[in-house]
Amino acid sequence: MESTDYPYSRDKKLLLPSSTLHLRTDMSAVSCSQKQTQECNKRIKLFFFFFFFGFVAFCSLLIGTIPSWLQGILLRNGPGIFSVGDTSYNHWFDGMAIMHSFTFKDGEMTHRSRFLRSDTYTANMDANRIVVSEMGTMAYPDPSKNFIVKAITFLNHTVPDFTDNGASNFIKYGNDYYATSETNYIRKIDPETLETQEKVDYMKYLPVNMASSHVHYDKEGNAYNMGTSIAEKGKTKYILFKVPAVSEREVICTVPCRSMLTPSYYHSFGMTDNYFIFIEQPFKLDILKMATAYMRGVNWASCLKFCPEENTLIHLIDRKTGKEVETKFYTGAMVVYHHVNAFEDDGHVVFDVIAYKDTSLYDMFYLSKLKENTGFPDENYSKPSYKRFVIPVHSDKGIAVGEDLVKLKYTTANAVKEKEGKLTCQAEVLYEGLELPRINYNFNGKKQQFVYGNCVEESALSRQIAKFDTETKEVIYWSEDNCWPSEPVFVPRPNGESEDDGVVLVSVLNSNPGQSCFMLVLDGKTFKEVARAYVNTELHKDVHGFFIPQGN
C-alpha cells in the first residue's frame, strides 16, 4: 500500500481515498435489524481486505425509502487536503480535490470517495510539501534546493503553468467525464470507480489559458463552454466553443476583451435556444501583476481587482451566426459567479444571475478567516441578490432616448435607451441571499418556475436550503440543527408530469454528537424529506455536483 494513498487531515483524522457504503431499502428504522447486524458483521470481517485495496465497506442506516426510479450516480467535488508536510494552503478553494460519488440503484445507495490523483497531487505528495501554486497560495521551493530548481520555479510562475487540481466541478465531453477547476487542464475520471485517468490540456486544441467550470449541454449531447485566451497573437479575447457529442470541437465565436491586459473573470455564462449571454464584469485579472506575483511574494488572487466605478457589459451572441447583436447592453458594476437560467420570451432574452456588490465572498474563504468564524454574522459579508435581467432583442432604431424597451408585464426589469445602439439595463431583484442555484436542467434555456439553492443571508457557510418559486415568490426551506447542506441537485423523474416532479439530492455535513453525515433525498414538489442515508465515513464541504442518469 502506497503511503500517499492515505494522507491525514489537519485534525489527524485519516481521510480514506475510497470508501464504500451499501444501504438497503429494508433499513427503514433507526435501530438495526437482525439482518443488518449479520450484514455488518460480514463486512467487518472484510474490512482489512478492503482497506488494503484502497476502499472500505461500511454498514449504516437508511431512513425512509429511496424512489425506485432514481437510478444513476451523483458526483460531488471539492477541496479535501489543506496541508502537506509542514506546508498549508491559504485558501479553502486551493485544497487538493476529493471526489465523492453516491450511486443509486434499485432503491439502494453506494458511497465512494477518492482523491483526484492529479499531477499536482503527485508532485505535492512526492515532495511532502506544497510545490504547485494555486490561486490563493503561492508555492515556493524548499529553501535547501539549489539555484537551478529555484530559477525553473520562477520561470514557471512568470508564464504560469497552472494546476490540474480540478476541485470545482465535473463536466461531460462526449461520453467522458472530467474533474475541472478554471485552468486549461481537466482530468478524465471514471465516474463508477472515481479512478483518475488522463490529463487533458485545452491549449492543445484551443488557445485558452482559463476556462469556465460550468458547461452547457443541448439535447443532442453537445457541450458548450468558454475560455479566456491571453495575449494570443497580441490579442486577449474570450472564446466560446462547442464540443460535439460525436465529432471534433469547434470555435463558435471570439469576443475581444475591453482591455487586453485585464480580462474579466467569469465562472459561468448563460444559454438559450438561440443566444449565449456573457457578462464582462469589472472584476478583472491583471496579467502584468500576475506575471510578477511570484517575484513580489504575493498570490495570484491578489492580481484580481474589482473596479466599482466601471460598468458591466452584457454580450448577447447569436448561436447560429456566432456574432454579437449590434446593440450594446450595460448595467452597473457587479460580481457574478453563477448564472441561474436564461430563456426567450416575445422578443426578449431573460436571464437570471446571482450577483454581489463586491468581491468579499472570495476573501471570506481564506482559511484564516474561516478559523475566526465566531458564529455571528460577518459585518464584511456581502449578501448576494438573485437578479433578473431582460434584454430586448429587437432593434432600438426609431425608439426615443430614455424609453424602456422591455415590454414584458411580469417583471420590473428594464432596458432604457441611452443613445443609438446602447441600452442601460436595470434588474429586478427576485430574492436576497441565495447561492449555488440549480434547476431542472430539462428546462435549461427555457422559461422555468422553480430554483433550488443554498440560503446565505448571513454567511457564505449555508445551514439551510430553499426551493424558490420565481412566479409566486414563495419559498420552502429545509434545515436541521448543526447540519450544513451542500448545493442541492434536482433530478427529474423520468416522464415526470411537472417541472418539479423529481427529487433533490443534498450531501449534508452533520456535527451533532454521535451522528454521521448523510445523503438527503427531498421531494422536488413539497421539499419534504423522502429518505436519508447515513454514511459512516467523513464527508467534506464541497463545491458542485453532477448527476449521471443510468445509461449515460
pLDDT of residue 98: 96
pLDDT of residue 53: 35
Nearest to 357 by CA among 308, 427, 301, 428: 308
Task: For 198, list phi and psi in degrees, rounded to 5.
Answer: -70, 155
Which segments of 106-263 are extended strands (E)?
A: 108-115, 169-173, 176-180, 185-189, 196-201, 210-211, 216-217, 223-232, 235-243, 250-256
pLDDT of residue 146: 53
Nearest to 373 by CA among 86, 92, 78, 10: 92
Which residues are CB-neighbours of 231 under 8 A, at least 6 positions away? 260, 261, 287
pLDDT of residue 160: 60
- Find out whether 267 is annotated in a ligand binding site: yes
Q: Is 169 in contact with 489 (CB distance < 8 Å)? A: no
* The residue type at 327: T
- Find out whether 544 is annotated in a ligand binding site: yes
pLDDT of residue 238: 97
Give the CA distances from residue 298 to residues 129, 164, 285, 289, in Å, rounded to whole numbers and listed in that order. 18, 21, 14, 10
pLDDT of residue 296: 87
What does the domain layout of the chain look like in residue ranges? 34-549
Radius of gyration of the chain (CA): 24
Quote the CA–CA distance of 157 and 149 in Å, as a whole number: 13
Q: Is 258 in contact with 236 (CB distance < 8 Å)? A: no
- pLDDT tens column, 459-468: 889 999 999 9
Q: What is the end-to-end Cα distance of the chain in Å, rounded?
A: 33
Nearest to 506 by CA among 518, 524, 495, 496: 518
Instruction: List the chain residues with pLDDT less than 50.
Output: 1-59, 147, 149-151, 154-155, 157
Q: What is the pTM of this model?
A: 0.87
Burial 383-408 (b: 16+ CB within 10 A, else e): bbbbbbbbbbbeebeebeeeeebbee
pLDDT of residue 231: 74
Strands 348-356 and 335-345: antiparallel
- pLDDT tens column, 274-296: 999 999 999 999 998 988 888 88
DSSP 300: G
